[in-house]
Amino acid sequence: MSLARSLLLHASRSRLLAGALKRRRFFGRAARRFMPGEELSDALGAARELSLRGVGTVLTKLGENITTPAEAESVEGHYADAIGEIERAALPTQLSVKLTQLGLDVDPRACERAVRALAARAGPRSTLWIDMEDSRYVDVTLDLYRRVRAEGANVGVCLQAYLRRTPDDLEALLALEPAIRLVKGAYAEPGSVAFPKKRDVDAAYFALAARLIERASHGKARPVFGTHDMRLVSRIRARAAELKVPARSCEFHMLYGIGEKDQLALSAAGEAVRVLISYGSAWFAWYLRRLAERPANVWFVLKNLV
């Protein structure tokens, strides 16, 4: 299984495979399991349905590592329009952006200006989430987050539990009273950088979660737990109850199309739940990373390919 996961993660970086496999109708149909469609209107429609069931949402347009300033400006404009659509529909919906999709590789200063502009456009009542990409981008992402957050913007950042460096990164951010979305991590990383074994990732995740919960109990952090691991969710909820963390001070973020019953059950139990809805045409790499996260997904796609 670790071999199959590794193959999928490495394949997610191949433009040649992306071009060949995206043309296969099976891949397009299968990807719809995790996304409502390629257009913003599809994502907003799904967000509207979930809001009627008491579940909030986070939208993200798929794509990364753009190569021209014009592309970056187009993405920024798209997200600004999306914020307007969300406001007009009065949806409990936030946005999550990738810095390389806003031109980080092309013009870091322009990328930072875009993040500031989008955070200002979203306003103090809606968090703009900065997603985390592979380990090459951790330092520059966290540096940008610190600068924008220090100015008082309502921004959050994603940390990946499987990276060995993350405990130190978390400690360095705590003085900002940050909003942190904690995930396990879904990129192909060497063992020197990331824990290769699931049990080690799980242990790291809970240790980081416990630290965030402790800070939240004093009103010094806003933790968001991005996981479908219900054992971890139960442990996190129990620890939050032990420390008497105020209700809904923590959130649980889950992916669209996975564990809907768990999402609704958590919401019904009084937890703050949001569903991450991805959309857009650049879904190939993202889809393979989703497949690699769970063994059932890996065998599902391999069986159909054979």
Q: pLDDT at position 1, please?
A: 45
Residue 244's Cα: distance from chain center in Å?
27
Coil, helix or strand at residue 36: coil
Q: pLDDT at position 257, please?
A: 86
Residues 6 or more apart whose CB falls under 8 angstroms from that of 131 comprise 60, 96, 97, 98, 99, 158
Catalytic residue list: 131, 181
Cβ–Cβ under 8 Å, residues 46 and 57: yes
Angle at 131 between CA 70 and CA 269, to 5 degrees: 135
Q: pLDDT at position 33, please?
A: 75
Q: pLDDT at position 188, please?
A: 78
Angstrom distance (rounded) from CA 121 to CA 283: 26
Q: pLDDT at position 34, please?
A: 81
User: pLDDT digit of tens for each residue in the chain (306 aa)?
Assistant: 465 556 555 555 656 665 555 566 666 666 677 888 889 999 999 999 999 999 999 999 998 899 999 999 999 999 999 999 999 999 999 999 999 999 999 999 999 999 999 999 999 989 999 999 999 999 999 999 999 999 999 999 999 999 999 999 999 999 999 999 999 998 879 999 999 999 999 999 999 999 999 999 999 999 999 999 999 999 999 999 999 999 889 999 999 988 899 999 999 999 999 999 999 877 666 676 666 665 555 565 555 555
Q: What are phi and psi of 125, to 5 degrees?
A: -90, -5
Interhelix angle 69-89/108-122, rounded to 10 degrees, is: 10
Per CATH, the number for 36-282 is: 3.20.20.220
What is the residue extent of each domain of the chain?
A: 36-282
Angstrom distance (rounded) from CA 37 to CA 48: 14
Angstrom distance (rounded) from CA 64 to CA 218: 36
Q: pLDDT at position 45, please?
A: 97
Angstrom distance (rounded) from CA 76 to CA 97: 9
Calculate the alpha carbon distances from 214 to 24, 235, 250 in Å.
48, 14, 11
Q: pLDDT at position 17, please?
A: 61
Q: pLDDT at position 111, please?
A: 98
Whole-prediction pTM value?
Answer: 0.87
Q: Which two tokens stand for residue 143?
A: 């540096």
HSE-CB of 152 using CA atoms within 13 angstroms? 3
